Amino acid sequence: MSASIPPDRWVRYFDQHGALDAGWLSSAISHWCFSERLHGQLVRFLPSGGRVLDVGCGPGNSVLWFAANGYSALGADREEQLVAIATERSRALGSTAKFEVADAHDLADFHGRFDLAYSVGVLEHFDRAETVRLLQEQGKCARHVAIAIPTRLSRYTNEVSDERFYSIRELERIVVDAGLRPVGHFGYGEVAATRLHRLVSLLLPKAVLRLAQDHGYAYTITVVGRNDQWSSRNT
């Protein structure tokens, strides 16, 4: 397991990145733009009006996006302060997004309730064995499970601390070890940190650049797994 994580670590992280101040909507818009491909790919695994669970939702930006696009979206986070902030923002926007305090290690209240469960920037903070167990817990909640983690290229944009980095293939093997069948993978976040990165983005055809992203030349990689043994409480 990872080293002990201070209880307010993520509150401080989001605060340092402007996500908790009065100008939070600007930060949310930046998040939605950066996550455009993530959201667009994940909806492929959702029925119309499907049920979505964001595990480790932080201030809830992605949950708000799914709710605004007609999905039944719920965010779970162990940080009570972040859940309170996300709930207030949902209320202010007149959103149907819901938020609850919960720990990723115990999602029993959510078992069998969702079509898709996903986490972004969460599971790389645990060792491989614990990541597998956390994915297994998410697999009890939804038919499809998506894990999104940063690549080594993220060191150009953020300080690296306790993150574990994996290739697409390594991440797929983790998904398999969690009892899930990989059904999709992709990368997102155009790499533009250095002059060389910007030149590559400028010269490569968009289709080739997208292919490179899907093989790991991106800030974030995602693997989607299907739980073939999943059963819903609400079907």
Neighbouring residues of 148: CB distance < 8 A, sequence distance ≥ 6: 38, 118, 119, 120, 121, 220, 221, 222
At 65-112, the pLDDT tens digits run: 999 999 999 999 999 999 999 999 999 899 999 999 999 999 999 999
Residue type, 1: M
**CA 160, CA 33: separation in Å to the nearest integer?**
23
pLDDT of 124 > 60? The answer is yes
pLDDT of 29 > 80? The answer is yes
pLDDT of 19 > 80? The answer is no
The pair of three-digit structure tokens given for residue 73, joined into one six-digit string: 């979206």
pLDDT of 21 > 70? The answer is no
pLDDT of 172 > 90? The answer is yes
Structure confidence at residue 3 as a pLDDT band (50, 70, 90): very low
205 and 169 in contact (C-beta within 8 Å)?
A: no
**CA 26, CA 94: separation in Å to the nearest integer?**
18
pLDDT of 61 > 60? The answer is yes
Q: How many helices (H) and strands (E) does the chain have?
A: 9, 7
41 and 66 in contact (C-beta within 8 Å)?
A: no
Neighbouring residues of 205: CB distance < 8 A, sequence distance ≥ 6: none
Q: What are phi and psi of 202, to 5 degrees?
A: -75, -40
What is the per-residue pLDDT for 150? 93
CATH says 9-188+221-226 is which class?
Answer: alpha beta
What is the CA angle 83-42-115, rounded to 5? 70
DSSP structure class, residue 6: P
Q: Mean pLDDT score of the chain, rounded to an integer?
A: 88
**CA 9, CA 42: separation in Å to the nearest integer?**
27
Other CB atoms within 10 A of residue 156 CB: 12
Residues in the chain: 235
pLDDT of 173 > 50? The answer is yes
